Structure 1
């Protein structure tokens, strides 16, 4: 079976390679934070920086899984640290420098910047190594 020009077996490996206990934890934590926010019951520290911390690991894991299983077809490939730090830098520039200039409800926060970089380091040191 072929899905959108991608060999079905590669697509299934991509899905299996993406969904792991840490990735599932990221998604569950994100949904809990969003759920508490929607109930007007934000959890102070968690509400402020956890989703920012999780952003880079989620984005990196999805892109790394795509690279491993669809592009390179090499499950041993890992991102070097500087790729992850560049992802954090780009994210910080966009969401903490550019977006607040154009969206009145968006506010730049150095805590968010620190969370992006901490998430990148966590992904490099913990998650990527567990899936390698």
Structure 2
């Protein structure tokens, strides 16, 4: 226990929260439910977030970032691999976006949340409107392409079925 001193001089004992020991309580990892108030952020009483990021980010996420960086580097050098260079980055955008939000919600902010199909579909729609409709209006670097939208959709649906449905199924049945 550590005392927390408020501006008016009163003291209150606070208990340090250790997420590693708590884990996810049974039944608390339901879709779209937030079981903690924003006032209960792990850093709310301490002022910094250095102790929050204890779990590792997925190797698949890092692999996606590396591949994305390589594709951008190759584009700048003028090396274009037709389908891979044009649509693979769009294909991995929704899974990486979804994973990053899930990671921030669960491991940084301490909520018990996982994306559902509605979240995946709304993310596909949001990214499609932003990058295929709005950005081409304001910049010549962006092009509106229906195949990019198809790549967002394919990546999002594949992520949903592989990560959310199958991964949780195998994890819960210990197969």
Does the TM-score normalized on the shorter chain lie above 0.5? Answer: yes
Asked which structure has the greater CA Rg, the reply is: 2
Task: Tell me what 2:48 maps to.
Answer: 5
TM norm structure 2: 0.63
Structure 1 gap segments, 5+ residues each: none
Q: CA deviation at 1:104?
A: 2.5
Cα distance change, pair 126–118 in 1 and its aligned pair in 2 (3 A): same
Q: CA deviation at 1:7?
A: 6.4
TM norm structure 1: 0.81
Task: Tell me what 1:58 maps to.
Answer: 96
2:54 match: secondary structure: helix
Q: CA deviation at 1:91?
A: 0.6
Q: CA deviation at 1:122?
A: 1.8
Q: Cα RMSD (Å) of the superposition?
A: 2.2
Structure 2 gap segments, 5+ residues each: 1-42
- Candidates 18, 25, 31, aligned match of 2:63: 25
Q: CA deviation at 1:4?
A: 5.0
If asked which structure has higher relative contact order (CA below 8 Å, sep 6+), I would say 1
Aligned residues: 124
Which has the larger share of helix?
Answer: 1
Task: Tell me what 1:71 maps to.
Answer: 109
